Amino acid sequence: MGNILSLIGRTDPLFTSDVERNETELSEIVSESKFLVLGGAGSIGQAVSKEIFKRNPKKLHVVDISENNLAELVRDIRSSFGYIEGDFKTLALDIGSAEYDAFNKYDGQYDYVLNLSALKHVRSEKDPFTLMRMIDVNVFNTEKTIQQSIDSGVKKYFCVSTDKAANPVNMMGASKRIMEMFLMRKSQEVAISTARFANVAFSDGSLLHSFNQRIQKHQPIVAPNDVKRYFVTPQESGELCLMSCIFGENRDIFFPKLSEALHLISFADIAMKYLKQRNLEPYLCQSEDEARELVKTLPAKGIWPCLFTTSDTTGEKDFEEFFTGDEILELSRFENLGVIKNEPNFNQELLDIFEQKIGQMKENGLWSKEQIVELFFTMIPDFGHKETGKYLDSKM
């Protein structure tokens, strides 16, 4: 983790003091409890599964659509922590499927359900079909699995939101904002807590993770030089989720407090640090063609072609925020964890309209991106969506 910390410009982990201060209670609760982790083979899912596993739960079942990532999670856990007496199992299932429902009916006995599954890429909103899947995964699967948790008497349901849900400018952030509205409705029937956090450094599919791929595949490193983000390490993401799941009160949203320890850093800056850590000298190219050409010769001399450009694609947020001005904050309970306190505020009529309109679109068998965007504006009138007509997939 030291390596990742230095790349994101930090020396110390964020939540060590909060975890240590609460460790006795945390370990006690985990060791007496049964957990279901959904979407548990993604970067955050793996991190939280490891945080639970190392505290000896009675039961830990991890469900994910990715068979390969589940295999890696098991190898990782066995290599790092070994074994527990409790029931540890992984299942390669799609949460939206009949097979998952059958599994849930067959077992279903958990104290805590943690849902980490999400379509998280801004690039997933470029076409109406992937966008509909984003709504299914981020909103309706969440709604469904909460209902299943209520039916089987789960103590607490945790799911991940995103900093992009605070004043959203992209469809992904807006889908999570809509998910939070559905959560508020369900919070009247079961205790729910959630977390908004920064980018998870080197998480699966992220731009930083792609640096590893580019080096492996002998390709140029590309990054925006004008986009700055807050980053947490994978382990910090797991700690944040577990702390919120165990200690969050109903409707609490946990987030990393902005302190000197957590600061903005640009992707281009991280790319430079990343190359230096590998004893490579960055060479700044002016175009994609130049970068593709120079990568054939420069790496042999210890120099790596880079292309750092300004960002002009749809859905990029200018800055990150974890809460809005009208949210109520509790900042004294933890040292580096902030908590947003919520009342069960939701508009029943709007949620009904959303379910009904999405249902109609699916029934028709065809829908446009414009229809979905219009529906999102109905749900979030001050939605800051800007369509530039350019998407990340059209760039290197």
3-state secondary structure the chain: CHHHHHHCCCCCCCCHHHHHHHHHHHHHHHHCCEEEEECCCCHHHHHHHHHHHCCCCCEEEEEECCHHHHHHHHHHHHHHCCCCCCEEEEEECCCCCHHHHHHHHHCCCCCEEEECCCCCCHHHHCCHHHHHHHHHHHHHHHHHHHHHHHHCCCCEEEEECCHHHCCCCCHHHHHHHHHHHHHHHHCCCCEEEEECCCEECCCCCCHHHHHHHHHHCCCCEEEECCCEECEECHHHHHHHHHHHHHHCCCCCEEEECCCCCCCCEEHHHHHHHHHHHCCCEEEECCCHHHHHHHCCCHHHHCEEEEEEECCCCCCCCCCCCCCCCCCEEECCCCCCEEEEECCCCCCHHHHHHHHHHHHHHHHHCCCCHHHHHHHHHHHCCCCCCCCCCCCHHHCC
Whether residue 316 is predicted with pLDDT greater than 90 in this model: the reply is no
324 CB neighbour count, 10 Å cutoff? 10
Task: Band the pLDDT of 165: cuts 50, 70, 90.
Answer: low
- Percent of the chain residues topping a pLDDT of 90: 72
Mean pLDDT of 277-288: 95
Q: What is the pLDDT of residue 257?
A: 87
Instruction: pLDDT band for 394, please (50, 70, 90 cuts).
Output: low
pLDDT the model gives residue 338: 93
Binned at pLDDT 50, 70 and 90, residue 163 comes out as low
Q: What is the bridge-based pairing of β-strands 59-64 and 87-92?
A: parallel
**pLDDT the model gives residue 325:** 66
pLDDT of residue 362: 97
Q: Give me the mean pLDDT over the 279-290 stretch.
A: 96
Q: Across residues 162-173, what is the average pLDDT?
A: 70
Using the predicted structure, report yes or no on whether residue 292 has a pLDDT greater than 80: yes
Q: Which of 311, 376, 380 is nearest to 128 (CA)?
A: 376
Mean pLDDT, to the nearest integer, of 368-375?
94
Of 391, 315, 352, whose CA–CA distance to 162 is shortest?
315
Q: Residues 124-137: pLDDT tens digits?
A: 777 999 999 999 99
Mean pLDDT along residues 46-60: 98
pLDDT of residue 173: 83
Between residues 348 and 325, which one has the greater pLDDT? Answer: 348
When the candidates are 1.10.357.10, 3.40.50.300, 3.40.50.11540, 3.40.50.720, the CATH number that belongs to 7-200+230-264+317-396 is 3.40.50.720
Q: What are the tens digits of pLDDT across the range 95-148?
A: 999 999 999 999 989 999 999 998 876 777 779 999 999 999 999 999 999 999
| Domain ranges within the chain, ordered by starting residue | 7-200+230-264+317-396
pLDDT score, position 393: 56
| Residue-level pLDDT at 119 | 81
- Average pLDDT value for residue range 365-386: 90
Residue 186 backbone dihedrals phi, psi, to 5 degrees:
-70, -20
Which residues sit opposite 91 in a β-bridge? 63
pLDDT for residue 365 is more than 70: yes
pLDDT band at 321 (very low <50, low <70, confident <90, very high): low
Torsion, Cα 389 393 395 396, to 10 degrees, reads 170
pTM of the model: 0.89
Region of residue 116 (phi > 0: left; psi between -120 and 50: alpha; otherwise: beta): alpha
Mean pLDDT, the chain, integer: 90
Position 170 confidence tier, pLDDT thresholds 50, 70, 90: confident
More confident residue, 389 or 309: 309
With cut-offs at 50, 70 and 90, classify the pLDDT of residue 315: very low
Q: Is the pLDDT of residue 272 over 50?
A: yes
